[in-house]
Amino acid sequence: MYKPLPDSLTIKPSKVNGLGLFAKETIPQDTNLGMTHFKIGDTIFRTPLGGFINHSNTPNCIKVELRMSDEDLKGNQYSYKKWNLVTIKDIKQGEELTLTYTFYKI
């Protein structure tokens, strides 16, 4: 079954800006929470996880880039990039998850 967010996260009003991602439980450092963005050609797409994370100059998460390649049914090779959200410290229950924006200007 499709889940737009990991079970450990929820969306709530943020003191940073609008809505943000918050921990429903303690999340250990180095936890991979899933894909936030992917890029095909020159276009970057946000997932629900990437759509609600707010910017911070002192973040508790980072985006980790993964380069992917595949072959279609005709044998044509193609490649794309995706970014996953990974915690860089333990995150307490109720704490907002943040990262330093690299795709968008603030």
| Per-residue model confidence as pLDDT tens digits over 28-66 | 999 999 999 988 878 889 998 999 999 999 999 999 988
Q: Is the pLDDT of residue 106 over 60?
A: no
What is the reported pLDDT for 103?
66
Q: pTM higher than 0.75 for the full model?
A: yes
Number of domains comprising the chain: 1
97 DSSP 8-state letter: E
Residue 104 lies in a domain: no
Q: Kindly report the average pLDDT of the chain as a whole number.
A: 88
Residue 69 lies in a domain: yes
Residue 21 lies in a domain: no
Nearest-5° angle of CA 16, CA 59, CA 104? 70
Question: Average pLDDT of 13-25?
Answer: 96
Residue 77 lies in a domain: yes
Residue 15 lies in a domain: no
Residue of 47, 21, 19 whose CA lies nearest to 34: 47
What residues form DSSP beta bridges with 57? none
Task: Give the range of the structural domain holding residue 82, as residue numbers without chain letter.
Answer: 27-99
What token pair was written down for 46? 């946000």
Which of the four pLDDT bands, split at 50, 70 and 90, describes residue 105?
low
What is the reported pLDDT for 73?
63
